[in-house]
Structure 1
Amino acid sequence: MKLTGRDAQAFFAKPSREAAGVLLYGADAMRVALRREQVIAALIGPEGEAEMRLERIEGADLRRDPAALADAMKAQGFFAGPRVVHVEGAGDAAAPAIAAALEAWQPGDAQLVVTAGQLAPRSPLRKLFEGARHAFAIGIYDDPPSRAEIEAALAAAGVGEVTAEAMEALVHLSRALDPGDFRQTVEKLALYKLDPPGPVTVEDVEAVAPLTVEAHLDALITAVAEGRAADVGLMMQRLAGQGVAPATVLIGATRHFRSLLAVASHPDGAAEGVGRLRPPVYGPRRDRLLRQAQGWGAERAARALQLLIDTDLELRSAGQHAPQMALVERALIRLAMMNRRR
């Protein structure tokens, strides 16, 4: 049986103990591994592996010994409790052995968890699970986690109340990080909030979030907007070392100064303008953006934006021979110096 959407999420939250097994497949090995870990933990509990109620079999081994899987599922463990057999890295060549094990399965036998890479719709392994009445097939895709999934991850880690602004920050972070890094961040957040206790704030999320390329770019643009010209060169070198393109830096700076201009020129004042930004900005970022807009003012923010637009045109010029990163760095230093000349 094929599970998608809400049905798949419901299965991950509470896997059926009446099913013979489940196939988890997808191109991203980390995403598949995290779901496999979640399902196995739900089926056998946190002490299941320590009590030897989990057995692992490599998918390639089933070609040499097809009966090993059925034997493992029928075996009785030393400790009482549900058992799981995990077949890792299964391919279509393992389908006959897995089909025989599913056919022989009876209530009380170990449940089967099979993980695989990307499988085509006509894959024999995928068709086997999708066509079974007592087994499931779930595709794991590269979509960012939904808000409900993030809330479930927070609850599982023991994180209590989360403010609306902090949740928005976590949603944004989940799209910037790979699943493993995001889960580690949630676990760090749970430990961070042990003392002092209380609702999770944006500051708490920022304190435990890893420094991504995006974070380094934000730090550079903040330095420029706050007039810290001496910091620009080192930050540019760091971004260049991470493989960030000059155009990416320029796009980020242009977007930021468009926001500054919109806030500074709002007819009802900067405080009202920052509240009208889309997407909305929360917490310390909001306060920082408001201070920057008030410091620049509409006229100088407009001049800064024009400088960035001119640099972009120069960057795109076919006759440009200067190193592109140096060209962007020079423009950002000019902006930072402009902010210092009040």
Structure 2
Amino acid sequence: MKLAPRDAAAFLARPDLTRSGILIHGPDAERIAQRRRALTLAVVGPNGAEDMRLERLTGADLRSDPAKLSDAMKAQSFFPGPRAVVVEDATDGLAKGITPVLEDWREGDGFLIFTAGQLTARSALRKLFEGARNALSLAVYSDPPGRAEIEAAIARVDLNPSSDALADLTARGRGMPEGDFAQLLEKLSLYKRGDARPLSVEEIAQLAPQSTDAAVDDLVAAVANGAVPRIGPAMMRLTAQGTNPTTLCIGMTRHFRQLHAAACMGGRPEDALGRLRPPVFGPRRDAMAAQVRAWGTPRLERALTTLTDADLMLRSSSRTPQEAMLERALIRIAMMRPRN
């Protein structure tokens, strides 16, 4: 049966071991790997490999010897606890050999974790897991993670963020590549080890990666300040670093939403930015306050409309080059700012 994306975070944290296993598939290999690691850890714990409760196979292993999967599922460990059998790079050609393994599964057998690339609705492997009564299929898409996924990732590393820090991490989790965000959480967890105080926004800012963030900040500043000649070079640097255009659009939208929220509050922009959640501090607040004064609410609303249209185009099946399309949209937005 299908596992709905909204239920995925809870299942990855506490898998139902009365099931025979799960197929995790999708176009983003990094996101697939993140879920495979989280699920494996939840099943066998950090010492599963040393306790011989973890078996790793590949699609090539099963093509050369189909019996390996059945043997791995039925094997017994010298140590107590559930076992996991992880199969990477699975393909449709394996579906026929997997069918009897799922049908013959009994309580106490290993928990099967299959991972594959993007599978169509007609995929034999996908149909097998979606149609099995005791197995699950989870499709992982390239959309930014939801709040539940981000909070589950924070819980896995035992972080205790303040409310402002949680909002900050949620925003970063939606704008950063998933692997980079996982590394940031690990770094924050190590930093806070032995410190009972809640994680703060300032601590996140000190430990967050700076290289890509700095380049993104340059692009955001170029657009928000109306510096059209700087947009092209900033886009080229980020494209060379492999930054996803959708990620850039999300970051740009977040910035303009903050400007719009501050503009709608009225009063001094500095005070309004300090009331945002998470609040804006230091030199960044001064720069954003100047942007709020220059743009005004109507122009910020037009900019957000353009960003929304760009985001929809990036997520569509259009064959328009994404980087070029986003760059044109950002230039149009930068030209909306009044000239001094």
With normalisation by structure 2, the TM-score equals 0.71
Q: Which ranges of 4 or more aligned residues in structure 1 deviate by more than 6 Å?
A: 220-226, 233-239, 293-297
Q: In structure 1, what is the equivalent of residue 65 of structure 2? A: 65
Q: Report whether the alignment pairs 1:113 with 2:125.
A: no
- Give the number of the structure whose alpha-carbon radius of gyration is greater: 1
Q: In structure 1, what is the equivalent of residue 286 of structure 2? A: 291
**What stretches of structure 2 of length at least 5 have no aligned partner?**
300-330, 335-339
RMSD: 4.2
Distance (Å, rounded) in 2 between the aligned partners of 1:136 and 1:34: 18
Call closer, same or farther: CA 1:92–1:197 in 2, change over 3 Å.
same
Q: In structure 2, what is the equivalent of residue 186 of structure 1? A: 185
Q: Is the partner of 2:90 in helix, strand or coil?
A: coil
Offset of 1:209 from its aligned partner?
1.2
Distance (Å, rounded) in 2 between the aligned partners of 1:290 and 1:82: 51
Offset of 1:77 from its aligned partner?
2.5
Please give the per-residue CA displacement for 1:210-230, whole angstroms capped at 9, x wherever unaligned.
Answer: 12544334258779999xxxx
What is the identity, as a one-letter code, of the residue corresponding to 1:291? Answer: D
Q: Report whether the alignment pairs 1:14 with 2:14.
A: yes
Is contact 1:203–1:284 with CA below 8 Å preserved after alignment? no
Call closer, same or farther: CA 1:301–1:7 in 2, change over 3 Å.
closer
Please give the per-residue CA displacement for 1:217-246, whole angstroms capped at 9, x wherever unaligned.
Answer: 4258779999xxxxxx9999787544589x
Q: In structure 2, what is the equivalent of residue 167 of structure 1? A: 166
Is contact 1:147–1:171 with CA below 8 Å preserved after alignment? yes
Q: In structure 1, what is the equivalent of residue 150 of structure 2? A: 150
Aligned 1:121-270 pairs, distance under 5 A = 121-160=121-160, 162-194=161-193, 197-218=196-217, 241-243=237-239, 259=259, 268-270=267-269
Offset of 1:139 from its aligned partner?
0.9
Offset of 1:79 from its aligned partner?
2.8
Q: In structure 1, what is the equivalent of residue 49 of structure 2? A: 49
What is the identity, as a one-letter code, of the residue corresponding to 2:145? Answer: P
Call closer, same or farther: CA 1:237–1:60 in 2, change over 3 Å.
same
With normalisation by structure 1, the TM-score equals 0.70
Which deviates more from structure 2 when the two are superposed, residues 115-124 or residues 103-112?
Answer: 103-112
Q: In structure 2, what is the equivalent of residue 335 of structure 1? A: none
Offset of 1:80 from its aligned partner?
3.2
**What stretches of structure 1 of length at least 5 have no aligned partner?**
227-232, 306-327, 332-337
Distance (Å, rounded) in 2 between the aligned partners of 1:205 and 1:28: 27
Q: Is the partner of 1:127 in helix, strand or coil?
A: helix
Please give the per-residue CA displacement for 1:314-341, whole angstroms capped at 9, x wherever unaligned.
Answer: xxxxxxxxxxxxxx9xx9xxxxxx9xxx
Call closer, same or farther: CA 1:97–1:234 in 2, change over 3 Å.
same
